[in-house]
Amino acid sequence: MSALRELAPAKINLGLTLGPLREDGRHRLVTVMQPVALCDSLELLPAELGSSGDRTICPGVEGENLVDKAVAGFREASGWRGAAVQIEIEKKIPVAAGMAGGSADAGAALRLLSRVSGIADEELLMAVARELGADVPGQLQPRRYLASGAGEELRALPEAAPFGVLVVPSDHGLSTADVFNEADRLGLARSIAELESRQAELVGALAAGAAFAPRELLINDLEPAAVSLAPELAWTLDEVRSAGAEQALVCGSGPTVIGLFGDLDGARGAALALSGRAPAPFAVEPWYPTVMPDANTEGASA
């Protein structure tokens, strides 16, 4: 078996509408998932001689890796008995930042396993992805999606016209579960009727490939919860607006803040203007499924 490689693009949420809790304890939501050209890189190799089983190497991430679960889930669902594999991950996506880094890696790992095993059963891969987490199905074949349900029901949207994204990472993570719990405490969830009308409005606004929806639809309902847990985010949002962003919002459950610009140069200029911050802000473009960025120059630039 020779080494196989896959890129795992980060995602941003272009708005997120929060709905009520479902019976399975997850929240309903509607969000536009947009992959961006900031990619982890995964390599699948035969496991080392004497190794007792599959193994993931992921410097910078402590504890059980979602990729371990992806490999175990794939073997169980498919019955694949191929030789033990080692997956090495080079992280570029900030961890616990609301950019779905773990989910992106799990999606890329499933693509690698599909290639090495010759098992290309899309339904099986999707079922394994769903078991791994609500953000993983959208990372199986990354592209622009309107996600509903708890994030696992995907409707492909036309790819976007190019635009620029300023990404302002934080020096600490926020737990997704904590942010949803805080949203409940603050009573931020909307009704199912509001969720459905927002979904229809977003599909209409993005049907012709607009870069992003109008301001009134580009709202992240989780933002007040993230700001409540990390009040300095309010200041960061102001800084991003002052740097010229057409819209500034918390990305997913945060704490990363994003600013949207008409083009990459605008986002680059803003990254320079905010370069005194640590960790340093950077600029990215959307990631397009037909154009694979080179793994060594995946497009993140200040």
Among 66, 189, 213, 257, binds ligand ATP (CB under 6 A): 66
* Chain residues 253-282 in contact with ligand ATP, contact rule CB under 6 A: 253
- Cα end-to-end distance, the chain, whole Å: 38
- 35 vs 102 by CB, closer to ligand ATP: 102
Q: Which of 105, 135, 184, 221 is catalytic?
A: 135
* Rounded (10°) angle between helices 122-132 and 101-117: 150
- 49 vs 177 by CB, closer to ligand ATP: 177
Size of the site for ligand ATP (CB under 6 A): 21
| Least distance CB 85 / ligand ATP (angstroms) | 15
Contact call for residues 101 and 10 (beta carbons, < 8 A) = yes
| Least distance CB 94 / ligand ATP (angstroms) | 7
- 8 vs 166 by CB, closer to ligand ATP: 8
Among 98, 138, 281, 299, binds ligand ATP (CB under 6 A): 98
From residue 140 to residue 179, what is the string marking binding to ligand ATP with x (rule CB under 6 A)? ------------------------------------x---
Among 97, 146, 167, 183, binds ligand ATP (CB under 6 A): 97
- 95 vs 203 by CB, closer to ligand ATP: 95
CA-based torsion, 191, 199, 223, 150: positive or negative:
positive
Bridge partners of 41? 7, 90
Alpha helices in 79-175 (DSSP H): 101-117, 122-132, 137-140
Smallest Cα–Cα separation from 218: which of 230, 231, 206, 209?
206
d(C-alpha 262, C-alpha 270), whole Å = 12
d(C-alpha 225, C-alpha 104), whole Å = 24
- 94 vs 281 by CB, closer to ligand ATP: 94
Per rule CB under 6 A, is residue 58 in the interface with ligand ATP? yes
DSSP 301: B
Per rule CB under 6 A, is residue 9 in the interface with ligand ATP? no
CA dist 58 to 5, 65, 100, 121, Å? 15, 8, 15, 27
DSSP string computed for 19-63? EEE-TTSPEEEEEEEEEEEEEEEEEEEEPPTT--S-EEE-TT--S
Among 70, 100, 206, 250, binds ligand ATP (CB under 6 A): 100
Interface with ligand ATP (CB under 6 A): 58, 61, 63, 65-67, 89, 95-103, 105, 135, 176, 252-253
Residues tagged active-site? 11, 135
